[in-house]
Amino acid sequence: MAKKKVLLMGKAHSGKTSMRSIIFANYLARDTTRLSPTLDVEHHHVRFLGDLVLNLWDCGGQDAFYESYFERDRETIFRSVELLIYVFDIESDSPEKDFDHFSGVLEAIEENSPDARIFILVHKMDLVSLEEREAIFEDRKRVIEQECSNFGVEHFHIFGTSIWDETLYKAWSEIVTNLIPNIRLLESHLNTFCKVCDADEVVLFERATFLVISQAQAESSGDDHLLTGPGGDSKEATTQAAFASPSGGADGVPGLDEAAQPSADETNDTSSTTGLVVPPDDLDSAAGPSNDTPRHAARTPHFDAHRFEKISNIVKQFKLSCGKAQAQFQGMEVRNSRFSAFIDAFTANTYIMVIVSNPNVHTAATLLNIQNARDHFERFIPRI
Amino acid sequence: MQSDEYGGYVDSYDFVGTGDAHDDEGMLLVPGQPGRPTDANFDDPKVASMPKILLMGPRRGGKTSIQRVIFQKMSPHETLFRLEATQSLERAIVDHTPLCRFTVWDFPGDFYEGDETVFGGAASLIFVVDAQDEPYDHVLQSFTDAVTKAIQLNPNIVIEVFINKVDGELFLSDESKYDCRRDVYTQVNYELEDAGISPDNINIRYHLTSIYDHTIYEGLSRVVQRLIPQLPTLESLLNVLVSQCSMEKAYLFDVVSKLFISTDPGPVDMQSVELCSDMIDVVLDVSGIYGLGPSQLELGHAAAAAESNSVEGADPNSTSENKDGFDVPDELVGTLISQAPAEDLEEEMVDPDSAYDSESASVIRLSNGMVLYLKEVDTMLALVCITRSENFRKKSLINYNIGCLKKALRALVDNESL
Ligand SMILES: Nc1nc2c(ncn2[C@@H]2O[C@H](COP(=O)(O)OP(=O)(O)OP(=O)(O)O)[C@@H](O)[C@H]2O)c(=O)[nH]1
Ligand SMILES: Nc1nc2c(ncn2[C@@H]2O[C@H](COP(=O)(O)OP(=O)(O)OP(=O)(O)O)[C@@H](O)[C@H]2O)c(=O)[nH]1
Ligand SMILES: [Mg+2]
Ligand SMILES: [Mg+2]
């Protein structure tokens, strides 16, 4: 178990506590209007991926507190900081003063925790009209970059955020994945899994926060994809066997999945008994590109660049709705004529989303693959 | 009264992401429904014959906010800075799904004039009161004037009092909400009697609403349900479905407005309605990301061409796969292939734009052993069922019955348009 100290700083009323509460304490955006100003420093320990404990120092932003942060408590605050998150309010009425605090913080961090990673959020972007947002953000970014370079700070990330849209999830996903070691290994396994499922993409989310921790896409070019044909790639074939073992048939899949299986009491459509859970051989052919697939050749389309954050946001909202109805969300499928999405509890600390647009891939096969990959992946979720 | 802005058509379709005027125009043409207006002309007999919902009340009561939030997908907090006082009557057509069509008339604040043309064909008069703006006596006096006029011209009109803005600090407890409703109720009755109208002789209902939560959907759902002449038939159809498939509950939702237009006769638990309505959000949002046609994705020219070829191939595709040995009558989320007659396929192909299409479906599993199952049953109409997971195993039975329901709904609509 690892504890990492995270400093959350910025001017009063800039939205620090709001963000923390939405990401880690299941607040709805509208609940944050009831927050009162933070007095001094509030400490919160939040768990991420089971083992990682973030020790959040939410520092109240009123001027009076900064005096003690910079003087009396300087070392306590700024020592052994793993990560600094500094929040600017886009609608600040005194930008100069914001920068006073900011440079003080940079100085103190450089002095006490020179290795700290630095994230800067330009927050409440929703208050700027959509047309101007990009320009105003770039402008603010330039000023901040200038300030950082004045203090010799070179490595930092800047995000525009708002609690009212998915930008919040984008920024915090980046922040948090920065603390996870070995994320590459996970990614490569996810890539394999994506291929095996013949999925368009696969995304892993952290269970409690629904922040994105890893993702994999099918190769974007259809030609590339054709090269890894069935049988042509022995590595793929073996991994596949690991996921969809023949024994993983009927009894391995609980709950809803059983619905996919023809059972005696169903309407007497005998043809359906051909088995919807595709055995590995069938899966093989279903997973590989068949000869008649102009439809899938160009099948990884240019989806929305912000889709993962949007999904985080959508599912998190829905989880909260379930909570209000005294139930807990377990998993879902959504489809129309063009795609199927599966979002399901995966390992102990993650959710998985699998997107499939190939109509030859059976729902039951995808569910079975998810089911069988669970244990396998449990090993690759980084232990911290 | 000159600016007839018609939001229902254009704006409420915005969620599928078509922005330009050309596409919007396309939206007005709904395939398979000859004779539908291609322009929002409120004199058109088709439009004029739709039931009217009137929104009246004091300035800043929230009339326009309600209209925008429900029918044009404005987010509630946007109403804070995006809306100005309404200067003249704004009318909108709501026509997402064949069973549920009406027009909404949003009047300027404190405007209670109206003659035969206003009150004549109106099914409901929604009077929006600001619950956070006490005292109400002045407001309720004008209310009485409007009601008097309305029932003179149209004795069948239903008066719906929306006690709006029951949210925030003042209304943290349920008690404070009920107190507020009692206050308004008492004062309305007093005013009406004063004006010589016996409250017992008019159709009047009270709703506590807020645009920040689900209560506004609940209130408007109840208003809209009254407009549907086939309501009793819908209820009995849903009743049959629920009992045949041992479901807990089934609702029909207009997926664009998220108003529920009917349910089986069992008791309605608003919490579960809210969950179903949130499920619709999830389905539309996820489909909007992964399930849009090529035109929304603005694919390159070649890719778009390839994809549109395959759209033609897509439906035959689903049958051509079946040829290799077996019919797939019931995939996990079944596709009702057997029930889909040729015209249906055709209709689906002419509308490749919507993320909500004839194969839209969703399953959500909850830890308490319940399953939410959503399925498209008509254009922009969703059936959302709540069922125990053990009863959900008979999936093909459920899908078969939903197929029957779908046919029956179609017949209801066709009958009406004859
Ligand atoms: N419009 C908008 N308002 C926001 C956003 N984030 C937070 N707010 C609002 O900003 C106000 C202040 O938020 P807090 O989270 O208490 O601010 P803080 O930075 O913790 O303030 P201190 O504790 O005093 O330092 C609240 O009313 C929030 O609802 C945002 O992205 N957009
Ligand atoms: N708290 C709260 N505010 C609301 C609610 N509904 C509307 N408002 C706010 O009330 C203000 C006025 O809303 P409008 O929709 O413009 O009111 P209106 O009745 O159309 O006003 P006129 O056009 O002048 O008659 C806006 O700032 C809304 O954000 C609600 O349910 N709760
Ligand atoms: Mg705070
Ligand atoms: Mg208005």
Q: With contact defined as beta carbons under 8 Å apart, do B165 and B66 qualify?
A: no
The answer for residues whose C-beta is within 8 angstroms of residue A357's C-beta and 6 or more apart is: A200, A296, A299, A338, A339, A340, B290
Residue at token pair 């939206």: B27
Exposure of B27 by Cβ count < 10 A (0-12 exposed, 13-18 middle, 19+ buried)? middle
Q: Ligand 4 mean position to B85 CA, how many Å?
A: 5
> How large is the average pLDDT for residues A102-112?
92
Looking up residue A221, the CATH number of its domain turns out to be: 3.30.450.190
Cβ of A127 closer than 6 Å to ligand 1, yes or no, is yes
Determine the residue of chain B that is closest to A265 in CA distance. Answer: B394
Helices (H) and strands (E) in chain A, counts: 13, 11
Chain B, 350 to 379: residues with Cβ < 8 Å from chain A are 355-368, 370-371
Q: Residue A90 to residues A134, A164, A344, B185: CA-CA distances in angstroms?
A: 12, 14, 37, 45
pLDDT at B291 over 50: yes
Task: From B363, B134, B171, select the one nearest A256 (Cα to Cα).
Answer: B363
Residue identifier of the C-alpha nearest atom 1 of ligand 2: B165
Answer whether B291 sits within 8 Å of A339, measured CB to CB.
yes
> How large is the average pLDDT for residues B386-397?
92
**pLDDT the model gives residue A269:** 35
Residue at token pair 């909108």: B92
Q: Is residue A245 part of a domain?
A: yes
Q: How confident is the model at residue A383 (pLDDT cuts 50, 70, 90)?
A: low
How many A/B residue pairs have CB atoms within 8 Å? Answer: 194
- A122-126, A180-184, B334-338: least confident range: B334-338
pLDDT at B335 over 60: no
Chain B, 201 to 240: residues with Cβ < 8 Å from chain A are 212
Contacts of A263 in chain B (CB under 8 A): 393
pLDDT tens digits, A339-380: 999 999 999 889 999 999 998 898 899 999 999 998 888 877
Q: Is residue A211 part of a domain?
A: yes
Task: State the smallest CA–CA distance between residue B192 and chain A in angstroms.
Answer: 38
The conformational region for residue B382 under phi > 0 = left, psi -120 to 50 = alpha, else beta, is beta
Contacts of B273 in chain A (CB under 8 A): none
Is there a single domain that holds both residue A194 and residue A168? no
Task: From A206, A185, A281, select the one nearest A47 (Cα to Cα).
Answer: A206
Atom of ligand 1 nearest to the CA of A59: 25
Is there a single domain that holds both residue A203 and residue A162? no
Q: How confident is the model at residue B254 (pLDDT cuts 50, 70, 90)?
A: very high
**pLDDT the model gives residue A220:** 58
Residue identifier of the C-alpha nearest atom 23 of ligand 1: A38
Q: What is d(CA A145, CA A142) in angstroms, rounded to the nearest whole number? A: 5
Instruction: Please tell me the number of the ligand nearest to residue A25's CA.
Output: 1
Q: Where are the alpha helices (DSSP H) in chain A?
A: 16-25, 63-70, 74-78, 95-112, 130-150, 167-177, 183-196, 222-227, 234-243, 280-287, 294-297, 307-324, 363-378
Q: Residue A132 to residues A128, A137, A172, A185: CA-CA distances in angstroms?
A: 7, 8, 24, 40
Q: What is d(CA A121, CA A97) in angstroms, rounded to the nearest whole number? A: 17
> How large is the average pLDDT for residues A307-321?
90
Task: From B89, B191, B92, B95, select the one nearest B135 (Cα to Cα).
Answer: B191
Fold of B231-417: Beta-Lactamase (3.30.450)
pLDDT at A112 over 90: yes
Find which of A335, A353, A358 to mutate to test the B interface (most B CBs within 10 Å of its CB): A335
The one-letter amino acid at A7: L
Q: Which carries the bigger pLDDT value, residue B313 or residue A353?
A: A353
Same fold, B21-225 and B231-417: no
Kindly state the tokens that stand for B260.
Answer: 């529920």
ipTM, two decimals, is 0.74
pLDDT at B38 over 60: no
pLDDT at B10 over 90: no
Of A177, A212, A230, which one is at a domain's C-terminal end?
A177
pLDDT at B209 over 70: yes
Q: How many folded domains does chain A comprise?
A: 2
3-class SS of residue A166 = coil
Q: Is residue A129 part of a domain?
A: yes
Q: What is the pTM of this model?
A: 0.76
Kindly state the tokens that stand for A310.
Answer: 């949007």
Atom of ligand 1 nearest to the CA of A29: 29
Is there a single domain that holds both residue A151 and residue A198? no
**pLDDT the model gives residue B373:** 97
Of A121, A156, A177, which one is at a domain's C-terminal end?
A177
Residue identifier of the C-alpha nearest atom 32 of ligand 1: A124
- List, as one string, the DSSP characters of A69-123: HHTTTHHHHHTT-SEEEEEEETT-S-HHHHHHHHHHHHHHHHHH-TT-EEEEEEE
Cβ of B165 closer than 6 Å to ligand 2, yes or no, is yes
Q: How confident is the model at residue A96 (pLDDT cuts 50, 70, 90)?
A: confident
Is there a single domain that holds both residue A237 and residue A104? no
Kindly state the tokens that stand for B146.
Answer: 């409007």
Q: With contact defined as beta carbons under 8 Å apart, do B195 and B148 qualify?
A: yes
pLDDT at A222 over 70: no
The one-letter amino acid at B341: P
Residue at token pair 């619709």: B280
> How large is the average pLDDT for residues A79-105?
89
Please, which residues bridge with residue B203 across strands? Answer: B158
Task: From A57, A134, A37, A123, select the one nearest A87 (Cα to Cα).
Answer: A123
Q: What is d(CA A377, CA A189) in angstroms, rounded to the nearest whole number? A: 8
3-class SS of residue A317 = helix
pLDDT at A320 over 80: yes
Q: Which carries the bigger pLDDT value, residue B236 or residue A1?
A: B236
Q: Is residue A82 part of a domain?
A: yes
Q: Ligand 2 mean position to B364 CA, how many Å?
A: 35
Answer whether A274 sits within 8 Å of B370, measured CB to CB.
no
CATH H superfamily, domain B21-225: P-loop containing nucleotide triphosphate hydrolases (3.40.50.300)
Is there a single domain that holds both residue A31 and residue A87? yes
Residues, beta carbon < 5 Å, ion ligand 3: A 17, 38
The one-letter amino acid at A302: H
**pLDDT the model gives residue B265:** 93
Mean pLDDT of chain A: 78
Is there a single domain that holds both residue A173 and residue A225? no
Exposure of A252 by Cβ count < 10 A (0-12 exposed, 13-18 middle, 19+ buried)? middle
Q: Ligand 1 mean position to A16 CA, how many Å?
A: 6
Question: Which letter, b or e, does each residue of A88-117 get, where b requires 16 or more Cβ atoms within 10 Å of its Cβ?
Answer: bbbebeeeeebbebbeebbebbeebbeebb
Is there a single domain that holds both residue A274 and residue A310? yes
Is there a single domain that holds both residue A107 and residue A18? yes
Chain B, 36 to 55: residues with Cβ < 8 Å from chain A are none
Atom of ligand 2 nearest to the CA of B86: 23
> How large is the average pLDDT for residues A8-31?
92
Exposure of A339 by Cβ count < 10 A (0-12 exposed, 13-18 middle, 19+ buried)? buried
Q: Is residue A384 part of a domain?
A: no
Q: Residue B40 to residues B72, B96, B124: CA-CA distances in angstroms?
A: 16, 14, 21
pLDDT tens digits, A249-303: 333 333 333 333 333 333 333 333 222 233 333 333 333 333 333 334 344 456 7
Looking up residue A154, the CATH number of its domain turns out to be: 3.40.50.300
Q: What percent of chain A clears pLDDT 70, i.e. is strictly above it?
A: 77
pLDDT at B269 over 50: yes
Is there a single domain that holds both residue A86 and residue A189? no
Pocket test for ligand 2, best of B79, B91, B162, B215 (most atoms within 8 A of CB): B79
Q: Is residue A344 part of a domain?
A: yes
Q: Ligand 2 mean position to B286 CA, how many Å?
A: 30
Alpha carbon of residue A18 to chain centroid: 19
Q: What is d(CA B262, CA B408) in angstroms, rounded to the nearest whole number? A: 15
Instruction: Please tell me the number of the ligand nearest to residue B90's CA.
Output: 4
Q: Is residue A383 part of a domain?
A: no
Mean pLDDT of chain B: 77
pLDDT at B201 over 50: yes
pLDDT at B316 over 90: no
Q: What percent of chain B clears pLDDT 90, i.e. is strictly above it?
A: 50
pLDDT tens digits, A157-210: 999 999 998 899 999 999 988 888 778 888 889 999 999 999 999 999 999 899
Is there a single domain that holds both residue A199 and residue A126? no
**pLDDT the model gives residue A384:** 56
Q: What is d(CA A56, CA A41) in angstroms, rounded to the nearest whole number? A: 10
> How large is the average pLDDT for residues B49-65?
93
pLDDT at B17 over 70: no
Residue identifier of the C-alpha nearest atom 5 of ligand 2: B165
pLDDT at B34 over 70: no
> How large is the average pLDDT for residues B157-177?
93
pLDDT tens digits, B62-102: 999 999 999 988 989 889 888 999 999 999 999 888 888 89
**pLDDT the model gives residue B28:** 27
Cβ of B296 closer than 6 Å to ligand 2, yes or no, is no
Q: What is d(CA A354, CA A362) in angstroms, rounded to the nearest whole number? A: 13
Q: What percent of chain B clears pLDDT 70, i.e. is strictly above it?
A: 75
Pocket test for ligand 2, best of B59, B60, B89 (most atoms within 8 A of CB): B60
Pocket test for ligand 2, best of B56, B65, B82, B105 (most atoms within 8 A of CB): B65
Kindly state the tokens that stand for A21.
Answer: 């509460």
> How large is the average pLDDT for residues B225-234?
92
Instruction: Please tell me the number of the ligand nearest to residue A19's CA.
Output: 1
Is there a single domain that holds both residue A80 and residue A214? no
Q: What is d(CA A79, CA A87) in angstroms, rounded to the nearest whole number? A: 19
Q: Is residue A23 part of a domain?
A: yes
Query: Domains of chain B: which residue ranges?
Result: 21-225, 231-417
Range of the domain at A56: 2-177
pLDDT at B241 over 50: yes
Cβ of B167 closer than 6 Å to ligand 2, yes or no, is yes
Residue in A200, A314, A362 nearest the CB of B282 = A314
Phi, psi (rounded to 5 degrees) for B382: -125, 140
Answer whether B279 sits within 8 Å of A338, measured CB to CB.
no
Q: Ligand 2 mean position to B42 CA, how many Å?
A: 26
Q: What is d(CA A190, CA A311) in angstroms, rounded to the nearest whole number? A: 18
Is there a single domain that holds both residue A151 and residue A291? no
Q: How confident is the model at residue A315 (pLDDT cuts 50, 70, 90)?
A: very high
Q: How confident is the model at residue B340 (pLDDT cuts 50, 70, 90)?
A: very low
Q: What is d(CA B218, CA B270) in angstroms, rounded to the nearest whole number? A: 8
